[in-house]
Amino acid sequence: MKLHGYFRSSASYRVRIALNLKGLTVEHLPHHLRKGEQRAPDYLKLNPQGLVPTLIDDQGDVLTQSLAVIEWLDETHPTPPLLPADPLKRARVRAFAMAIACDTHPVQNLKVLARLRQLGLPEEQVTAWAAWANQDGLEACEALIAHETGPFCFGDAPTLADLCLVPQLANARRFGVAVEKFPRLMTAEAATKSLKAFADAAPDRQPDAE
């Protein structure tokens, strides 16, 4: 398999964690987002959105959108499972993951911040916007799992929720959010730190890290 990504991309980070948890080896093909390499014509043929990640499976099939990729990995390589067997719990894990991947991360991603700069906002306001988006999303996530057993977001093993949480906390820190005010999220993050799959997926461990 081949994974098109970028070391600092949260969406790529999620998929890297999933691949590591599944024990799968991929060839990493970086695209420097700040240099616009994701808009190259050859890459747009693979992913018309010009986003990362894009996963190419062993048969050459193309998969895009990190949550879809992770669920495909979970269905084709079911051990360890990243979604609970219970339908209600599974829906709650998906809801938490979507709160980050659909409602928090996109509002503060590179494309949106670049557009704010194009519209003439000064850099301090751009950063404040990103911090606000992270703060708002993480507040909701803290409440969503406040009464869930730990130490991970949902129980004693990592799920899709943790795969989304850890990269988003990294983003929040970059924009100056005091994430320590979210004790339940901190507990879940601390649990992931003991797992090599999470550590090896970190941005600073990637071959294209700067």
The pLDDT tens digits of the residues spanning 156-182 come to 999 999 999 999 999 999 999 999 999
Q: How many CB atoms lie within 10 A of CB 184?
A: 18
24 lies in a domain?
yes
Supply the mean pLDDT for the chain.
Answer: 98
CATH classification of the domain holding 51: 3.40.30.10
Residue 160 has a pLDDT of: 98
* Count of domains for the chain: 2
- The model's confidence at residue 102, banded by pLDDT at 50, 70 and 90, is very high
74 lies in a domain?
yes
Residue 120 has a pLDDT of: 98
127 lies in a domain?
yes
Residue 98 has a pLDDT of: 98
Q: Is residue 74 a contact partner of residue 84, using CB atoms and an 8 Å limit?
A: no
DSSP code per residue over the chain: -EEEE-TT-HHHHHHHHHHHHHT---EEEE--GGGTGGG-HHHHHH-TT--S-EEE-TT--EEESHHHHHHHHHHHS-SS-SS-SSHHHHHHHHHHHHHHHTTTGGGGSHHHHHHHHHTT--HHHHHHHHHHHHHHHHHHHHHHTTTS-SSBTTBSS--HHHHHHHHHHHHHHHTT--GGG-HHHHHHHHHHTT-HHHHHHSGGGSTT--
129 and 40 part of one domain: no
Residue 124 has a pLDDT of: 98
38 and 93 part of one domain: no
204 lies in a domain?
no
Residue 187 has a pLDDT of: 98
Q: What is the pLDDT of residues 30-40, one digit of tens each?
A: 999 999 999 99
CATH classification of the domain holding 158: 1.20.1050.10
Range of the domain at 171: 87-197
Of 80, 102, 128, the position where a domain reaches its end is 80
46 and 98 part of one domain: no
30 and 9 part of one domain: yes
- The model's confidence at residue 45, banded by pLDDT at 50, 70 and 90, is very high
Q: What is the pLDDT of residues 112-141, one digit of tens each?
A: 999 999 999 999 999 999 999 999 999 999
Residue 105 has a pLDDT of: 98
208 lies in a domain?
no
96 and 28 part of one domain: no
Of 52, 80, 108, the position where a domain reaches its end is 80
Best CA proximity match to 8, nearest among 32, 29, 25? 32
